[in-house]
Amino acid sequence: MKDIKLKRGVVDYVICGVAVLFICVYASIAFQPVTSGEPESEPVVQEQQEKREPAAEPEPAEPELSDMTATFIDVGQGDSTLVMLPDGKVMLIDAGEASASRAVLDALEAADVDDIDYLVATHPHADHVGGMEAVLDAYDVGEVWMPDAPDTTETYEGFLNAVDAEGCPVEEAVAGAEIVGDDAGYSVDVLAPADDIESDDMNRYSSIVRVTYGDTSLLLTGDADADEVVEAGPGHVDVLKASHHGSETGTNTEVMDETTPGYVVMSYAEGNSYGHPDQSVLDAISAVGATAYSTAANGDVTATFDGEDVIVETERDGRIVAGVSAEEKARQEAEAQAEAEAQAQAEAEMQAQQQQQQAQPTEETVVITPSGTKYHRPGCRTLNRSKSLTEISKSDAQARGYESCGVCNP
């Protein structure tokens, strides 16, 4: 009986063990996550990330711009214009005569200029590039722009040597060149001269530069002839720097009609020998209703551009007067001298005549009667009854045959 009970106990233990094992296996299968044969989520996310398009690069920020100013510096008989561009860059166009370099440096210092980004020499004449050496010596220059002109004056050669010494990159300022592209939010374009120009007249090499900021614009013309300004086709500009210091060769009615400026600035010295500005230029400016300023009358002239409007301020008030050329002045002086000499001669002749008259003795005046044969002193008692008396000179009475009165004895 014991053996049977023991075997039954063993069997019971085995059955219980199998049951427990079955329950564990079932539980492990029942609680497994359902995958449905799909890849696990983490590899899916990674694959999606790998297939995702790369992020687009951010748009470049718009340049920060402020007001632009153009200061026409009073350098006497010459040209120099300082342009503070809207993005803070600095452009200097021409620098007057060497003797005027102090005025240019003072203007740069007053504008808190540290470096010059663009230095533009419109053409080789000394009244435009004479002060460039002093500027290059005092400031670092980013780029030098100038036409390919053949002039070899001592002043121009000195400027070229200074550019070489400073190691400045040089760009050719000819039609079609862009000093600053319009992607900067403004533009500086060269409209003239043509790149194939050949001339003995250095003025015809003048670079014509247009600066455009928003709806406002500035035209700088060097000493270009009027026909070249018109052919460059600048169209309307708000501020025009009159070419060639206000001479009739640089500015005329055709230029005014082409540019229709609101303001015109002329740079010249008071009392210059060239006759600048010419009266015809002043008339042409007035005909289009533009306001005229000059460095001679107004000192430094500054135009401020905000992209929509232009405001012009001057160093001083003044009145623009048409100039007189050296030839015209000489003619006027010769005429004035001839007139003065003629007047002096007339006065001398009159004085001599008066002296001659004073030197001659005064002839005695006597009195005669119609029926008498004597001449008398006025008041002679023999004339008391005479009603008609005639005064004549003594010599005339004697010539007529009258004799002296024995009573008054004239």
Whether the pLDDT of residue 6 is over 70: the answer is: no
**Which has the higher per-residue pLDDT, 96 or 355?**
96
Measured CA to CA, the distance from residue 246 to residue 320 in angstroms comes to 11
Does residue 153 contact residue 132 with C-beta atoms inside 8 Å? no
Quick one: pLDDT at residue 326? Answer: 65
Whether the pLDDT of residue 36 is over 60: the answer is: no
Quick one: pLDDT at residue 347? Answer: 85
Whether the pLDDT of residue 322 is over 70: the answer is: yes
Do residues 243 and 183 both lie within one domain?
yes
Flag whether 360 is in a domain. Answer: no
Do residues 325 and 372 both lie within one domain?
no
- Of 330, 348, 373, the one marking the end of a domain is 330
Domain that holds residue 392: 365-404
**Which has the higher per-residue pLDDT, 35 or 67?**
67
- Of 304, 330, 356, the one marking the end of a domain is 330
Name the pLDDT band for 169 (thresholds 50, 70, 90): very high
Number of structural domains, the chain?
2
Closest CA to 268 of 75, 70, 99, 72: 75
Whether the pLDDT of residue 76 is over 90: the answer is: yes
Quick one: pLDDT at residue 383? Answer: 83
Closest CA to 163 of 98, 218, 109, 119: 119
Does residue 177 contact residue 171 with C-beta atoms inside 8 Å? yes
Burial class (CB in 10 A: 0-12, 13-18, 19+), 253: middle
Q: Angle CA(224)–CA(225)–CA(230) in degrees, nearest 5? A: 95
Flag whether 48 is in a domain. Answer: no
> Can you tell me whether residue 210 is helix, strand or coil?
strand
Tens-digit pLDDT profile for residues 212-270: 999 999 999 999 999 999 999 999 999 999 999 999 999 999 999 999 999 999 999 99
Do residues 239 and 377 both lie within one domain?
no
CA 397 to chain CA centroid, Å, is: 86
Flag whether 346 is in a domain. Answer: no
> Can you tell me whether residue 59 is helix, strand or coil?
coil
What's the CATH number where 139 sits?
A: 3.60.15.10
Do residues 117 and 181 both lie within one domain?
yes
Do residues 221 and 119 both lie within one domain?
yes
Tens-digit pLDDT profile for residues 297-320: 999 999 999 999 999 999 999 999
Quick one: pLDDT at residue 69? Answer: 98
Flag whether 177 is in a domain. Answer: yes
Flag whether 266 is in a domain. Answer: yes
Quick one: pLDDT at residue 285? Answer: 98
Q: Is the peptide bond before 193 cis (omega within 30 degrees of 0)?
A: yes
> Can you tell me whether residue 323 is helix, strand or coil?
coil
Flag whether 347 is in a domain. Answer: no
Whether the pLDDT of residue 393 is over 50: the answer is: yes
Name the pLDDT band for 351 (thresholds 50, 70, 90): confident
User: What sections of 62-199 are H helices per DSSP?
Assistant: 101-110, 126-129, 132-138, 154-166
Do residues 119 and 239 both lie within one domain?
yes
Average of per-residue pLDDT values in the chain? 87
Whether the pLDDT of residue 21 is over 60: the answer is: no
Do residues 253 and 373 both lie within one domain?
no
Do residues 317 and 378 both lie within one domain?
no
Burial class (CB in 10 A: 0-12, 13-18, 19+), 297: buried
Does residue 145 contact residue 118 with C-beta atoms inside 8 Å? yes
Quick one: pLDDT at residue 372? Answer: 87
Quick one: pLDDT at residue 364? Answer: 84
Whether the pLDDT of residue 16 is over 80: the answer is: no
Helix (H) or strand (E) holding 284: helix 279-287
Tens-digit pLDDT profile for residues 102-129: 999 999 999 999 999 999 999 999 999 9
Quick one: pLDDT at residue 222? Answer: 98
Flag whether 6 is in a domain. Answer: no
Do residues 216 and 110 both lie within one domain?
yes
Do residues 74 and 120 both lie within one domain?
yes
DSSP string, 150-218: ----HHHHHHHHHHHHHT--EEE--TT-EEE-GGGSSEEEEEES-TT---S-GGGGPPEEEEEETTEEE
How much is the average pLDDT of 163-185? 96
Do residues 386 and 315 both lie within one domain?
no
Where residue 289 falls (left for φ over 0; alpha for ψ -120 to 50; beta otherwise) is left
Do residues 373 and 256 both lie within one domain?
no
Cα dist from 12 to 2, 7, 24, 262, whole Å = 15, 9, 19, 118
How much is the average pLDDT of 173-196? 96
**Which has the higher per-residue pLDDT, 166 or 45?**
166
Cα dist from 150 to 199, 202, 205, 346, whole Å = 9, 8, 9, 58
Whether the pLDDT of residue 34 is over 80: the answer is: no
Whether the pLDDT of residue 2 is over 50: the answer is: no
Name the pLDDT band for 360 (thresholds 50, 70, 90): low
- Of 330, 355, 387, the one marking the end of a domain is 330
